[in-house]
Copies of this chain bind each other. A is one copy, B any other.
Amino acid sequence: MTIPTVEIKDDAVRLIDQTLLPAECRIREVKTKEEMWEAIRVLRVRGAPAIGVAAAGALAVEINRSSSVDSARLLEELEAAADYLATSRPTAVNLFWALERMRETGRRHRELPASELKKVLLAEARAILAEDREMGRALGEAGAELIPEGSGVLTHCNAGSLATAGFGSALSVIYVARERGKSFRVFADETRPLLQGARLTAWELGREGVDVTLICDNMAAWLMKTGKIDLVITGADRVAANGDGANKIGTYGVALLARAHNIPFYMAWPSSTLDLSLASGDQIPIEERPAEEITIIGGTRLAPEGVKTCSPAFDVTPGELIAAHVTERGIIRPPYAENFRRVFAAEQGLE
Protein backbone atom coordinates (compact mmCIF):
# COMPACT_ATOMS: atom_id res chain seq x y z
CA MET A 1 0.00 0.00 0.00
CA THR A 2 2.96 2.24 -0.63
CA ILE A 3 2.12 2.89 -4.25
CA PRO A 4 3.03 6.53 -5.00
CA THR A 5 -0.04 7.17 -7.14
CA VAL A 6 0.17 10.96 -6.75
CA GLU A 7 2.88 13.08 -5.05
CA ILE A 8 2.96 16.85 -4.96
CA LYS A 9 6.38 18.51 -5.30
CA ASP A 10 6.97 22.27 -5.45
CA ASP A 11 7.47 22.26 -9.20
CA ALA A 12 5.59 19.20 -10.39
CA VAL A 13 2.97 16.61 -9.61
CA ARG A 14 4.54 13.19 -9.83
CA LEU A 15 2.19 10.42 -10.77
CA ILE A 16 2.29 6.82 -11.92
CA ASP A 17 1.35 6.77 -15.59
CA GLN A 18 -1.48 4.27 -15.30
CA THR A 19 -1.83 3.88 -19.05
CA LEU A 20 1.47 1.93 -18.98
CA LEU A 21 0.47 -0.53 -16.25
CA PRO A 22 0.88 -3.44 -15.77
CA ALA A 23 3.73 -3.64 -18.28
CA GLU A 24 5.61 -0.75 -16.69
CA CYS A 25 5.29 1.27 -13.48
CA ARG A 26 6.72 4.60 -14.60
CA ILE A 27 6.53 7.89 -12.72
CA ARG A 28 5.56 10.89 -14.82
CA GLU A 29 6.30 14.46 -13.81
CA VAL A 30 3.42 16.79 -14.65
CA LYS A 31 4.52 20.42 -14.56
CA THR A 32 1.75 22.43 -16.22
CA LYS A 33 -2.02 22.62 -16.16
CA GLU A 34 -2.08 21.57 -19.81
CA GLU A 35 -0.10 18.45 -19.04
CA MET A 36 -2.43 17.65 -16.14
CA TRP A 37 -5.51 18.19 -18.30
CA GLU A 38 -4.11 15.68 -20.77
CA ALA A 39 -3.07 13.26 -18.01
CA ILE A 40 -6.60 13.27 -16.59
CA ARG A 41 -8.24 13.09 -20.01
CA VAL A 42 -6.32 10.05 -21.20
CA LEU A 43 -6.45 8.41 -17.76
CA ARG A 44 -2.76 8.53 -16.87
CA VAL A 45 -4.28 9.42 -13.51
CA ARG A 46 -7.81 8.15 -12.88
CA GLY A 47 -10.12 7.26 -10.04
CA ALA A 48 -12.32 9.99 -8.64
CA PRO A 49 -10.26 10.76 -5.50
CA ALA A 50 -6.91 10.60 -7.30
CA ILE A 51 -8.14 12.99 -10.00
CA GLY A 52 -9.15 15.48 -7.31
CA VAL A 53 -5.78 15.29 -5.57
CA ALA A 54 -3.84 15.50 -8.83
CA ALA A 55 -5.82 18.49 -10.06
CA ALA A 56 -5.36 20.31 -6.76
CA GLY A 57 -1.65 19.60 -6.97
CA ALA A 58 -1.47 20.85 -10.55
CA LEU A 59 -3.21 24.09 -9.54
CA ALA A 60 -0.74 24.67 -6.69
CA VAL A 61 2.25 23.91 -8.90
CA GLU A 62 0.90 26.14 -11.69
CA ILE A 63 0.59 29.07 -9.31
CA ASN A 64 3.93 28.34 -7.67
CA ARG A 65 5.58 28.53 -11.10
CA SER A 66 3.89 31.83 -11.93
CA SER A 67 6.11 34.88 -12.39
CA SER A 68 3.35 37.17 -11.08
CA VAL A 69 4.37 39.02 -7.93
CA ASP A 70 0.89 40.32 -7.28
CA SER A 71 -1.58 38.19 -5.26
CA ALA A 72 -4.64 39.51 -7.07
CA ARG A 73 -3.05 38.45 -10.35
CA LEU A 74 -2.19 35.02 -8.90
CA LEU A 75 -5.80 34.55 -7.85
CA GLU A 76 -6.97 35.35 -11.37
CA GLU A 77 -4.56 32.75 -12.67
CA LEU A 78 -5.84 30.30 -10.07
CA GLU A 79 -9.46 30.80 -11.15
CA ALA A 80 -8.59 30.46 -14.82
CA ALA A 81 -6.50 27.34 -14.26
CA ALA A 82 -9.28 25.79 -12.14
CA ASP A 83 -11.87 26.55 -14.84
CA TYR A 84 -9.62 24.92 -17.39
CA LEU A 85 -8.87 21.78 -15.37
CA ALA A 86 -12.58 21.38 -14.62
CA THR A 87 -13.13 20.61 -18.32
CA SER A 88 -10.91 17.55 -18.30
CA ARG A 89 -13.60 15.05 -17.21
CA PRO A 90 -17.26 15.66 -16.33
CA THR A 91 -18.56 12.85 -14.13
CA ALA A 92 -16.46 12.43 -10.97
CA VAL A 93 -17.28 15.21 -8.53
CA ASN A 94 -14.03 15.02 -6.55
CA LEU A 95 -12.35 17.00 -9.33
CA PHE A 96 -14.74 19.94 -8.91
CA TRP A 97 -14.67 19.57 -5.13
CA ALA A 98 -10.86 19.76 -5.01
CA LEU A 99 -10.69 22.66 -7.47
CA GLU A 100 -13.29 24.55 -5.46
CA ARG A 101 -11.41 23.95 -2.25
CA MET A 102 -8.26 25.38 -3.85
CA ARG A 103 -10.16 28.44 -5.12
CA GLU A 104 -11.63 29.06 -1.69
CA THR A 105 -8.26 28.73 -0.06
CA GLY A 106 -6.90 31.33 -2.45
CA ARG A 107 -9.78 33.70 -1.82
CA ARG A 108 -9.48 33.27 1.93
CA HIS A 109 -5.80 34.27 1.76
CA ARG A 110 -6.08 37.02 -0.82
CA GLU A 111 -4.38 39.48 1.56
CA LEU A 112 -1.18 37.44 1.77
CA PRO A 113 1.86 38.43 -0.27
CA ALA A 114 2.30 36.38 -3.43
CA SER A 115 5.13 34.25 -2.09
CA GLU A 116 3.04 33.29 0.96
CA LEU A 117 -0.07 32.65 -1.10
CA LYS A 118 1.92 30.19 -3.20
CA LYS A 119 2.97 28.33 -0.07
CA VAL A 120 -0.56 28.24 1.30
CA LEU A 121 -1.86 26.74 -1.95
CA LEU A 122 0.84 24.08 -2.02
CA ALA A 123 0.05 23.27 1.61
CA GLU A 124 -3.66 23.02 0.82
CA ALA A 125 -3.08 20.64 -2.07
CA ARG A 126 -0.92 18.48 0.19
CA ALA A 127 -3.62 18.60 2.86
CA ILE A 128 -6.15 17.32 0.33
CA LEU A 129 -3.75 14.50 -0.48
CA ALA A 130 -3.14 13.67 3.20
CA GLU A 131 -6.84 13.74 3.99
CA ASP A 132 -7.54 11.47 1.05
CA ARG A 133 -5.10 8.94 2.48
CA GLU A 134 -6.72 9.22 5.90
CA MET A 135 -10.25 8.95 4.53
CA GLY A 136 -9.27 5.87 2.54
CA ARG A 137 -7.81 4.22 5.60
CA ALA A 138 -10.81 5.17 7.72
CA LEU A 139 -13.37 3.87 5.24
CA GLY A 140 -11.42 0.63 4.99
CA GLU A 141 -11.58 0.30 8.78
CA ALA A 142 -15.29 1.05 8.70
CA GLY A 143 -16.13 -1.39 5.93
CA ALA A 144 -13.91 -4.37 6.76
CA GLU A 145 -16.66 -6.02 8.78
CA LEU A 146 -18.74 -6.36 5.58
CA ILE A 147 -16.38 -9.04 4.26
CA PRO A 148 -17.20 -12.42 5.79
CA GLU A 149 -14.46 -14.97 6.39
CA GLY A 150 -14.09 -17.31 3.44
CA SER A 151 -16.21 -15.18 1.13
CA GLY A 152 -15.94 -14.37 -2.55
CA VAL A 153 -15.78 -10.63 -3.24
CA LEU A 154 -16.45 -9.13 -6.66
CA THR A 155 -15.12 -5.69 -7.56
CA HIS A 156 -15.43 -3.67 -10.75
CA CYS A 157 -12.92 -1.21 -12.23
CA ASN A 158 -10.16 -0.02 -9.88
CA ALA A 159 -11.06 1.59 -6.60
CA GLY A 160 -7.71 0.93 -5.01
CA SER A 161 -4.46 2.68 -4.18
CA LEU A 162 -4.19 3.65 -7.81
CA ALA A 163 -7.56 5.42 -7.73
CA THR A 164 -6.68 7.54 -4.71
CA ALA A 165 -3.67 9.05 -3.03
CA GLY A 166 -3.47 6.18 -0.61
CA PHE A 167 -5.31 3.01 0.31
CA GLY A 168 -8.19 3.21 -2.07
CA SER A 169 -11.90 2.99 -1.43
CA ALA A 170 -13.35 -0.44 -2.25
CA LEU A 171 -9.90 -1.99 -2.10
CA SER A 172 -9.11 -0.25 1.18
CA VAL A 173 -11.95 -2.28 2.67
CA ILE A 174 -10.30 -5.39 1.24
CA TYR A 175 -6.82 -4.41 2.49
CA VAL A 176 -8.05 -3.77 6.02
CA ALA A 177 -10.10 -6.99 6.08
CA ARG A 178 -6.95 -8.84 5.11
CA GLU A 179 -4.83 -7.06 7.75
CA ARG A 180 -7.36 -8.31 10.26
CA GLY A 181 -6.50 -11.83 9.24
CA LYS A 182 -9.58 -12.63 7.19
CA SER A 183 -9.18 -15.01 4.31
CA PHE A 184 -11.30 -14.45 1.23
CA ARG A 185 -11.09 -14.42 -2.52
CA VAL A 186 -11.44 -11.40 -4.80
CA PHE A 187 -12.80 -11.54 -8.34
CA ALA A 188 -11.85 -8.55 -10.47
CA ASP A 189 -13.98 -7.61 -13.47
CA GLU A 190 -11.55 -6.67 -16.24
CA THR A 191 -13.68 -3.56 -16.91
CA ARG A 192 -13.84 -2.81 -20.60
CA PRO A 193 -13.00 -0.75 -22.49
CA LEU A 194 -9.91 0.49 -20.64
CA LEU A 195 -9.37 -2.62 -18.56
CA GLN A 196 -8.73 -0.95 -15.22
CA GLY A 197 -9.65 -4.22 -13.50
CA ALA A 198 -7.20 -6.32 -15.53
CA ARG A 199 -4.40 -3.77 -15.67
CA LEU A 200 -4.70 -2.04 -12.28
CA THR A 201 -6.81 -3.99 -9.77
CA ALA A 202 -5.28 -7.38 -10.60
CA TRP A 203 -1.85 -5.73 -10.45
CA GLU A 204 -2.22 -3.95 -7.13
CA LEU A 205 -4.07 -6.79 -5.37
CA GLY A 206 -1.47 -9.27 -6.60
CA ARG A 207 1.32 -6.98 -5.38
CA GLU A 208 -0.29 -6.98 -1.92
CA GLY A 209 -0.64 -10.75 -1.92
CA VAL A 210 -4.43 -10.75 -2.08
CA ASP A 211 -5.95 -13.85 -3.75
CA VAL A 212 -7.33 -12.34 -6.96
CA THR A 213 -8.96 -13.93 -10.00
CA LEU A 214 -9.50 -11.93 -13.15
CA ILE A 215 -12.72 -12.37 -15.11
CA CYS A 216 -14.34 -10.72 -18.10
CA ASP A 217 -17.21 -8.40 -17.21
CA ASN A 218 -19.75 -10.69 -18.80
CA MET A 219 -18.78 -13.62 -16.53
CA ALA A 220 -19.95 -12.00 -13.28
CA ALA A 221 -23.55 -13.21 -13.57
CA TRP A 222 -22.51 -16.81 -14.04
CA LEU A 223 -20.10 -16.69 -11.09
CA MET A 224 -22.94 -15.35 -8.96
CA LYS A 225 -25.24 -18.11 -10.18
CA THR A 226 -22.65 -20.78 -9.41
CA GLY A 227 -22.18 -19.50 -5.86
CA LYS A 228 -18.71 -17.95 -6.11
CA ILE A 229 -19.68 -14.39 -5.16
CA ASP A 230 -20.95 -13.41 -1.71
CA LEU A 231 -20.77 -9.64 -2.02
CA VAL A 232 -19.88 -6.88 -4.46
CA ILE A 233 -17.98 -3.74 -3.55
CA THR A 234 -17.04 -0.91 -5.89
CA GLY A 235 -15.91 2.68 -5.64
CA ALA A 236 -17.97 5.66 -6.78
CA ASP A 237 -17.35 8.76 -8.89
CA ARG A 238 -20.25 10.84 -7.64
CA VAL A 239 -22.99 10.06 -5.14
CA ALA A 240 -26.21 12.08 -5.07
CA ALA A 241 -28.29 13.08 -2.05
CA ASN A 242 -30.69 10.16 -2.49
CA GLY A 243 -27.92 7.54 -2.50
CA ASP A 244 -27.73 7.02 -6.28
CA GLY A 245 -24.09 6.50 -7.23
CA ALA A 246 -22.25 7.04 -10.51
CA ASN A 247 -19.35 4.70 -11.09
CA LYS A 248 -17.49 3.08 -13.98
CA ILE A 249 -19.71 1.77 -16.77
CA GLY A 250 -20.90 -1.71 -15.92
CA THR A 251 -21.45 -1.02 -12.23
CA TYR A 252 -25.20 -0.63 -12.62
CA GLY A 253 -25.42 -3.98 -14.39
CA VAL A 254 -23.38 -5.69 -11.67
CA ALA A 255 -25.68 -4.17 -9.03
CA LEU A 256 -28.75 -5.52 -10.85
CA LEU A 257 -27.17 -8.97 -11.15
CA ALA A 258 -26.29 -8.91 -7.45
CA ARG A 259 -29.90 -8.07 -6.61
CA ALA A 260 -31.13 -10.94 -8.79
CA HIS A 261 -28.92 -13.34 -6.80
CA ASN A 262 -29.63 -11.82 -3.36
CA ILE A 263 -26.01 -10.72 -3.01
CA PRO A 264 -25.32 -7.41 -1.22
CA PHE A 265 -23.86 -4.62 -3.33
CA TYR A 266 -21.78 -1.91 -1.60
CA MET A 267 -20.22 1.35 -2.76
CA ALA A 268 -17.17 2.70 -0.92
CA TRP A 269 -16.05 6.34 -1.22
CA PRO A 270 -14.54 9.24 0.69
CA SER A 271 -16.86 12.15 1.43
CA SER A 272 -15.27 14.21 -1.36
CA THR A 273 -17.35 11.98 -3.67
CA LEU A 274 -20.68 13.09 -2.23
CA ASP A 275 -22.62 15.75 -4.14
CA LEU A 276 -25.55 16.82 -1.97
CA SER A 277 -26.37 19.50 -4.53
CA LEU A 278 -27.87 16.78 -6.73
CA ALA A 279 -31.20 15.40 -5.58
CA SER A 280 -30.75 12.22 -7.61
CA GLY A 281 -28.32 10.44 -9.88
CA ASP A 282 -30.38 11.40 -12.94
CA GLN A 283 -28.61 14.75 -12.82
CA ILE A 284 -25.09 13.34 -12.99
CA PRO A 285 -23.49 14.07 -16.39
CA ILE A 286 -22.21 10.93 -18.09
CA GLU A 287 -19.02 11.22 -20.11
CA GLU A 288 -18.93 9.65 -23.58
CA ARG A 289 -15.51 8.27 -24.59
CA PRO A 290 -14.01 7.88 -28.07
CA ALA A 291 -14.67 4.82 -30.26
CA GLU A 292 -11.00 3.88 -30.46
CA GLU A 293 -11.00 2.90 -26.80
CA ILE A 294 -13.37 0.09 -27.75
CA THR A 295 -12.12 -0.78 -31.22
CA ILE A 296 -8.33 -0.81 -30.75
CA ILE A 297 -6.12 -2.40 -28.09
CA GLY A 298 -2.35 -1.97 -28.25
CA GLY A 299 -2.46 -1.29 -31.97
CA THR A 300 -4.68 -4.30 -32.72
CA ARG A 301 -7.96 -3.44 -34.38
CA LEU A 302 -10.78 -5.44 -32.78
CA ALA A 303 -13.69 -4.31 -34.96
CA PRO A 304 -14.27 -3.21 -38.55
CA GLU A 305 -13.00 0.23 -39.51
CA GLY A 306 -15.64 2.89 -39.10
CA VAL A 307 -18.05 0.83 -37.00
CA LYS A 308 -20.34 2.96 -34.84
CA THR A 309 -19.87 2.69 -31.10
CA CYS A 310 -21.55 3.94 -28.01
CA SER A 311 -19.20 4.37 -25.04
CA PRO A 312 -20.59 5.88 -21.85
CA ALA A 313 -17.73 5.95 -19.33
CA PHE A 314 -20.02 5.72 -16.32
CA ASP A 315 -23.47 4.63 -15.28
CA VAL A 316 -25.65 5.39 -12.31
CA THR A 317 -26.71 2.76 -9.80
CA PRO A 318 -29.96 3.62 -8.03
CA GLY A 319 -29.68 3.81 -4.25
CA GLU A 320 -32.29 1.08 -3.88
CA LEU A 321 -29.83 -1.45 -5.34
CA ILE A 322 -27.10 -0.44 -2.85
CA ALA A 323 -27.16 -2.35 0.44
CA ALA A 324 -24.87 0.22 2.08
CA HIS A 325 -22.49 3.05 1.31
CA VAL A 326 -19.11 2.77 3.04
CA THR A 327 -17.49 6.09 3.92
CA GLU A 328 -14.85 7.40 6.31
CA ARG A 329 -17.78 8.26 8.62
CA GLY A 330 -18.84 4.65 8.75
CA ILE A 331 -21.29 2.34 7.01
CA ILE A 332 -24.42 4.18 5.92
CA ARG A 333 -27.61 2.22 5.30
CA PRO A 334 -30.87 3.37 3.71
CA PRO A 335 -32.81 5.60 3.82
CA TYR A 336 -29.93 7.49 2.25
CA ALA A 337 -31.46 10.96 1.89
CA GLU A 338 -32.09 11.07 5.60
CA ASN A 339 -28.91 9.33 6.71
CA PHE A 340 -26.60 11.33 4.43
CA ARG A 341 -28.10 14.52 5.83
CA ARG A 342 -27.52 13.35 9.37
CA VAL A 343 -23.94 12.16 8.81
CA PHE A 344 -22.66 14.81 6.41
CA ALA A 345 -24.77 17.86 7.19
CA ALA A 346 -22.17 19.89 9.08
CA GLU A 347 -19.40 20.15 6.50
CA GLN A 348 -21.74 20.53 3.56
CA GLY A 349 -23.15 23.65 5.15
CA LEU A 350 -26.64 22.26 5.59
CA GLU A 351 -26.90 23.03 9.26
Contact = CB atoms under 8 A, between A and B. Distances in A.
B299 A190 contact: no
Nearest to A218: B250
A295 interface: yes
A221 interface: yes
Contacts of A191: 218
Interface string A135-171: 0000000000000000000000000000000000000
Contact of A212 (B190, B214, B308, B312): B308
B218 A249 contact: yes
Contact of A198 (B22, B214, B295): B295
A307 B219 CA distance: 17
Contacts of A195: 302-303
A297 interface: yes
A297 B199 CA distance: 13
Contact of A190 (B192, B222, B254, B301): B192
A308 to B, nearest CB: 4
A297 B297 contact: yes
Contacts of A310: 187, 213-215, 219, 223, 228
Q: Among A187, A256, A312, find the residue whose CB has the most chain B CB atoms closer than 10 A.
A: A256
27 contacts: A22-B301, A190-B294, A192-B192, A192-B217, A193-B216, A198-B294, A198-B302, A198-B307, A202-B303, A203-B303, A203-B304, A213-B309, A214-B294, A215-B294, A216-B249, A216-B250, A217-B218, A217-B250, A219-B249, A219-B250, A219-B311, A222-B249, A222-B312, A225-B252, A256-B257, A298-B300, A299-B300
Interface residues of A, number: 55
A113 interface: no
A326 B202 CA distance: 40
- The list of the 4 closest CB pairs from A to B, nearest first, reads A298-B300, A218-B250, A221-B253, A192-B216
A1 interface: no
A206 interface: yes
Contacts of A304: 22, 202-203, 206
Nearest to A211: B308
Interface in A303-338: 303-304, 307-312, 315
Given A225-B315, A298-B297, A303 B199 contact: yes
Interface of A: 22-23, 187, 189-193, 195, 198-199, 202-203, 206, 211-223, 225, 228, 249-250, 252-254, 256-257, 259-260, 294-295, 297-304, 307-312, 315
Contacts of A187: 310
Contacts of A221: 250, 252-253, 256, 315
A186 to B, nearest CB: 10
Given A199-B302, A297-B297, A253 B222 contact: yes
A249 to B, nearest CB: 6
A226 B249 CA distance: 13
